[in-house]
A and B are shown apart, each in its own frame.
Chain A
Amino acid sequence: MSKITVLHLVDDTTAGGVMRMLDHLSQLPELADEVHQEVRPVKRTAFSWGSFDADVIVCHIAPGWRCLPAFSALRAMHPTTRLVHVEHSYTRSFTALNVPHKRRFFAMLRVTYSLFDQVIAVSKAQAGWMAERRLAPASKLSVISPQVDLSAVARAAGPVEAARVIGAIGRLEPQKGFDLLIEGFRMCPNPEARLVIFGEGSQRDRLMALAAGDRRIEFRGHADDPAEAYRAVDVVAMPSRWEAYGLVADEARAARRPVIVSMVDGLRDRIGASGVIPCGSDPKAWRKSIEAVLAGTPPVVPVLALKADRSRYAQRWQQVFDPAKRL
């Protein structure tokens, strides 16, 4: 039996999280016998990305007016190939904060998604938004939350006994909302508390200015070893303004760290899971959440069943790749 060939299209703006997800997906032992996967970088705004020889093409590129020609050409050049789009970028809160002309934006998304046989949302919340805004018909829409290899993070970590160090891990960009966290943390009088921030980005100077004078706050730059970063903190904070999925929440839980999340987009999917503390999107709400978690005994995060999660995940993708497995 010949293997199913799958081509993943990415571009240079594709986020690091997506590349990690594809590394993991390409190496899943559950898929190795039946599926051959390749990752192909293309230029997002090229007029056409060319013609490919594959059974299934999975597009990980963020739609936009400027790449609509390339999306259309992709469909035109592969009339019988199964085309799948994974929406890693756009969400309800992204739209609220970044899109002045929403009508046009929704029109662009509807046209783009109509070119695909299947549209995959990365969280239930995102899928709910796509359905409510009629961006893709329910028959085309499914949810597969991304996974990455969490074993290194899980191996390195144990349960937390007392909460003292709050950690924020991610790019220093407006999306991540670390400004809200710093302002909220500064309002907590507890002299023992610490806030450790891992990551780099365009907001570095602004965030450092916000933190200036509070010696409890520390910027540690990019964490080369994520496991080390999670070990260095007791509680993880995700004050994101938008977040299609939010892998950091999974890493934190794998490291058995409680995680405080803002109630937006994909992070809403995690509300109710053990160790996940929902929080509002303003500095005062963060102050309250931080004070509460510092004052009490941190919630115990159980060891995640990584292997079972992985095989379920492999099964979901198998249904995407293999027409015989489709429901």
Chain B
Amino acid sequence: MPQASIIVPAYNTAATLTETLASLLSQTHDDFEIIIVDDGSQDETPAIARAHATDPRVRVIRQENRGLAGARNTGIAAARGEFVGFCDADDLWLPEKLATHVRHLQAEPDVAISYSGSAMIDEGGRLMRVRQSPRLRDVTAAHVLKRNPIGNGSAAVMRKSALLDLAYRPAFETKRDWVFDETFRQSEDIECWLRLMLTTDWQIAGVPGLLTRYRIHATGLSAALDRQLQAWERMVDKLRPLNPEFFARHEAAARAYQLRYLARRAVSNLDSQKAWELAQRSASTSARPLIEEPAKTLTTIIAAAALRAVGPASVVQAGRLMRRQTSI
């Protein structure tokens, strides 16, 4: 039995899957399996996945499209490792990532999720100057709700026993348990991590370094940002009954952070109206981001304001400001 399983949810990712798999197959850790879950792709993904299955470490599972959460759940059900990592089929792992997290989880038996920071790459795979350098120690549920230190879907390696503590089976599900809630098409990560924090006594902790390369896709659609906000609100509505006092204390600040994040996304999309609206809503929802992270919050407001006042011509300045902060 392999000690670790890396789950690769893949949906129409022919352009990037080979590169992702190459980064996983060159992990320095010597005992792992890769489970590619082809989530009903219509492009060349199945063929690329099959071609890699000649490597004894690689398995491919194909299913009708169930979304990212559904692909991960299928991967978890098939995983044989004591440790389970996730890497989306367009992201990359640095060679020492798995070994680092396995060591960390072995040294800290009360830690369920080990994660690291990420460096962003663009659609062409070029390293951007933006990075995610999250808090690594003393992470509370409030940190997860407000700033989600795990950051993205390819940053975490988890203890399988902790995943099983989260597993449940909806009445209509006939195949296997759910760990991620498949009714979510966005915010499925944060929903799962926060549920872990609110219903179990597992801890989460990070290791230093930017061990993931996380690909940023320019969506450009303000409707996508609205959907993202809706999913986030649904996540909060779902989890609130677990601990109403916790949400009463932290919900407004967390919403302000979420709106600030979306405002920054809108700035990157050059959507001046949306960026301004979101920045304004963030500021009027709670002053916590301004107090806790003044530089980043002010940069967001200035970038949104500049974009609005000068229009796309200010992109360069706004871009510079965003890059000086070099995180999203």
Contact = CB atoms under 8 A, between A and B. Distances in A.
Interface string B136-153: 001011100000000000
A202 B245 CA distance: 13
Nearest to B238: A282
A186 B245 CA distance: 21
B200 A101 contact: no
A93 B203 CA distance: 13
B244 interface: yes
Given A96-B197, A100-B141, A103-B138, A241 B203 contact: no
Contacts of A179: 241, 244
Contact of B109 (A92, A95, A134, A281): A134
A283 interface: yes
Contact of A129 (B141, B197, B201): B201
Interface in A97-138: 97, 99-103, 106, 129, 133-134
A11 interface: no
B244 A97 contact: no
Given A174-B245, A281-B242, A102 B199 contact: no
Interface in B191-207: 197-201, 203
A93 B201 CA distance: 7
B110 interface: yes
A102 B110 contact: yes
A interface residue count range (under 10 / 10 to 19 / 20 to 34 / 35 or more) = 20 to 34
A18 to B, nearest CB: 23
A55 interface: no
A169 B201 CA distance: 27
A133 B168 CA distance: 23
Q: Which of B198, B238, B241 has the most CB of A within 10 A?
A: B241
B198 A96 contact: yes
A97 B138 contact: no
A31 B54 CA distance: 70
B180 to A, nearest CB: 17
Given A103-B110, A106-B110, A133-B110, A93 B138 contact: no
A34 interface: no
Given A95-B201, A96-B198, A282 B242 contact: yes
Interface string B163-174: 000001000000
Contacts of B183: none
A103 B203 contact: yes
Interface in B248-300: none
A180 interface: yes
A101 B140 contact: yes
Nearest to A282: B241
Nearest to B108: A103
A206 to B, nearest CB: 9
A149 interface: no
Contacts of A183: 241
A95 B199 CA distance: 9
A266 to B, nearest CB: 15
A106 B245 CA distance: 23
Contacts of A134: 109
The interface centre, meaning the residue of B110, B199, B201, B246 with most chain A CB atoms within 10 A of its CB, is B201
A224 to B, nearest CB: 30
Interface of B: 109-110, 138, 140-142, 168, 197-201, 203, 238, 241-246
6 contacts: A93-B199, A96-B201, A97-B243, A100-B140, A280-B168, A281-B241
Interface of A: 92-93, 95-97, 99-103, 106, 129, 133-134, 174, 179-180, 183, 241, 280-283
* Closest 7 pairs between A and B when the two form their complex, measured CB to CB: A95-B201, A100-B140, A92-B201, A96-B201, A102-B203, A282-B241, A97-B243
